[in-house]
Amino acid sequence: MPAPPCTSCHAARAALRRPRSGQALCGACFCTAFEAEVLHTVLAGRLLPPGAVVAVGASGGKDSTVLAHVLRELAPRLGISLQLVAVDEGIGGYRDAALAAVRRQAARWELPLTVVAYEDLFGGWTMDAVARSTAGSGRSRSCCTFCGVLRRRALEEGARRVGATHIVTGHNADDMAETVLMNFLRGDAGRLARGGSLGSPGEGGALPRCRPLQFASQKEVVLYAHFRRLDYFSEECVYAPEAFRGHARDLLKRLEAARPSAVLDLVHSAERLALAASARPPRPGACSRCGALASRALCQACALLDGLNRGRPRLAIGKGRRGLDEEATPGTPGDPAQTPTPKAVPTF
């Protein structure tokens, strides 16, 4: 049976039905519609003002590849300039191939590329070294937690090096729905309250961040990459199989099979979430060591590195961070007794 005509141009045959709307479109019309929706997200959310220098977090994967390509197409209309910033986490047998894909993209699209490495930024630590350090501590399954904290810091540093005014990342709707589920399952009210917006405004001197693909499904991101014939790296990180996110992803797939709107329902639920006054986290202060935003004496990145350097990685995440503050040597950076505690002010 021949494919129906495209419901947009009425000239070409439809190549797909959009997963959510069921609209039959040819590849060209689908890509045009996808780009228009991302443009609407950026404009409606006032995410990237004219004149912005935008650092695109480029991992070589499908999401960041699609994001960079779409923003390159939209840049003249938005009045922005783009810089690709890639992070080398130091994962043997994985990151080199991903960075090769980023370099091919930068050359093909004639976009400047800057690569920052964990090893250079964090005193010689790479993710492989972190994994070895945590292997016997009961924290080996937390590699993605460690990497997420360091990657965020590294991307911020790379963006500053290129003079960026804004940072964009390729998180899609499925990623955000998984994050909402994870925060619910962990009972993390603070992250739930912060996780529904399209980004962060840049508190405490941090650069503003946003997620232009937040309402785009993973399926449509893949379809866009297919029809635009984009070159991207598709292998899973070697540390991902043990991550807690995988359980949330499996649960989300089952929920979506029963209720196709589950992904966007979760994303929009997080947007509308409000915390009771008693549950609202205090306004973060400044890290006593690096000056970044922090809810304790040390920010997450400094706490993580401090725990690793002491040979006690469990102090870097979770409840162990309290122990890190308590065990800080008097008179050293991060010691609460020597560092004024920022006054807690409700954020909502």
pLDDT of residue 239: 85
* Spatial separation of the C-alpha atoms in residues 23 and 4, rounded to whole Å: 11
Query: What pLDDT is attached to residue 136?
Result: 60
Give the range with max mean pLDDT: 31-45, 197-211, 254-268. Answer: 31-45
Question: In DSSP terms, which residues pair with 82 in a beta bridge?
Answer: 54
| pLDDT value at residue 203 | 72
**Residue 196 pLDDT > 70:** no
Q: How far apart are CA 253 and CA 260, in angstroms?
A: 9
Distance of CA 246 to the CA centre of its chain: 16
Per-residue pLDDT for 340 more than 90?
no
The pLDDT assigned to 197 comes to 73
pLDDT over threshold 60, residue 252 = yes
Which of 88, 152, 83, 150 lies closest to 116, judged by CA? Answer: 88
Over residues 272-317, the pLDDT tens digits come to: 776 777 666 677 788 888 888 887 888 889 999 988 898 877 645 5
The pLDDT value given to residue 332: 37
Average pLDDT over residues 35-50: 96
The pLDDT assigned to 141 comes to 58
Distance, CA of 224 to chain centre: 20
Q: What is the pLDDT of residue 348?
A: 25
Please compute the mean of the pLDDT values over residues 48-77 and round it to a whole number.
97
How far is residue 270's CA from residue 197's CA, in Å, rounded to a whole number? 8
| Structure tokens given for 206 | 């941090």
CA dihedral 62, 64, 66, 68 (to 10 degrees): -150
Largest CA distance in the chain: 77
| Range 197-219 average pLDDT | 87
Residue type, 83: Q
pLDDT computed for residue 260 by the predictor: 87
What residues have CB less than 8 Å from 296, skipping those under 6 apart? 303, 321, 325
Q: pLDDT at position 328, please?
A: 42
Q: What is the pLDDT of residue 195?
A: 62
| Mean pLDDT, all residues of the chain | 85
Q: Model-level pTM?
A: 0.85
CA distances from 128 to 34, 237, 343 (A): 37, 12, 38
Q: Average pLDDT for residues 56-81, to the nearest whole number?
A: 97
What's the 3-state SS for 210-244? ECCCCCCCHHHHHHHHHHCCCCCCCCCCCCHHHCC
